[in-house]
Amino acid sequence: MVVNPTLGASASAPQAAAKAKAPTAKNVIFINGDGMGAAMRQAARLHLAGLGGQLAMDKLPVSGQLTTEPDDPKAVVTDSAAAATAWATGEKTYNGAISVDVDGNPLATLGQQAKAAGKATGLVTTAQVTDASPAAFFSNTANRSAQDEIARQYIEVSKPDVILGGGEDWWLPAGTAGAFKDQPAEDPSEASKGTKGDLIKKAKKAGYSYVNSADQLSRAKDGKLLGLFANEEMFQQRPEGQGDVYSPVVGLSTMTSKALSTLDKNKKGFFLMVEEEGTDEFAHSNNATRTLQSMQELEKAVAVARAYVATHSDTLLVITGDHETGGLAVEESDAADESGTGISTEDGPFSIRGSEKSFYIDWTTSGHTGVDVPVTAAGPLSDRFTGKHANTHVYDVLREALTRR
């Protein structure tokens, strides 16, 4: 059989052109609304944007769904550790595992791979900086509770350039209070509890600037940055009226803005993981008021990210949740439909922006559920999130974006 060389050349030319024009992502911003399912986004949309309105996170041009089940012999519903491990490594594992496989073997993480590609890396969260979701991108441990070990790995192994959030307790030895005193009145159980020495001191020796207030953060110079703004989470997660407080020392959007301006200095680009934890913790307490407040703060951070993407078209932005929390449902305002007490108690009514109508939020559990979660995206490779995928698909796309030459 004789192949016409002319036809062969004409057939390969479009393929070569397509390959040459394939989108590349210099930067990746990955945002996790912990515990944020579709109904939570719907409730926030009604309350913050109104009927027919859109959240900033829903204005992204690409949308899809992610499944969330772990590879756990005893569970079908994921926790944050297993879910984040799926994102960060592309492998499913058991609940409680931080980027190790089902046999406890460490897995390569996106944080490590981004560093190897010469990119700057960072994490921002209103949880402890060593909590499960950020930890999976920058550490390996068989037990998510080993937060002091996770902090040690940040400083000595994975070395993210920016670390901003709560959790000072895990960076200091027991009995050594830092900027945030032990046994505070709002939660006497909070106190320094590390077993790895003074990790803040070690971070400073490793070249990190350390800050613990909004003013210090605003004045921090370029370079490696560690900011710890609370003993544990940057809020107090409890049911309504039982000491629940959402008033972070520094807002998620402010931390995100600082992280972006710092990481942006790297000519090869960056990977930034951003997380709002209140969306999960207050849903665990079936506290709809604070859940919506946390969603509002997440929206502000999304607005910061979208503003960055608007002037940096080579940035992939992805927004999703690791799982759904609370079995949240949006219901009509109907006093006759009050469903009970305890975890089944309805919250509300909540106003719908620009309308005289209102809605209730109902709960079915104080734990996680196994429903799919929405994902929205913009920028290079974002079209890969169209359709329904396993949560490990996040790793596939982000890895391609971060390591493509």
Task: Write out the binding residues.
Answer: 34, 131, 133, 275, 280, 284, 322-323, 368
Is residue 380 within 8 Å of 23, Cβ to Cβ? yes
Is residue 66 within 8 Å of 320, Cβ to Cβ? yes
Distance CA 401, CA 66 (A): 19
Closest CA to 321 of 15, 30, 97, 120: 30
Q: Are strands 162-166 and 209-211 parallel, antiparallel or unpaired?
A: unpaired
Q: Which of 10, 12, 63, 80 is catalytic?
A: 80
Is 10 part of the annotated catalytic residue set? no
Q: What φ, ψ does residue 80 adopt, rounded to 5°?
A: -65, -35
Is residue 172 within 8 Å of 148, Cβ to Cβ? no
Residues that constitute the known binding site for Mg(2+): 34, 131, 133, 275
Catalytic annotation, residues: 80
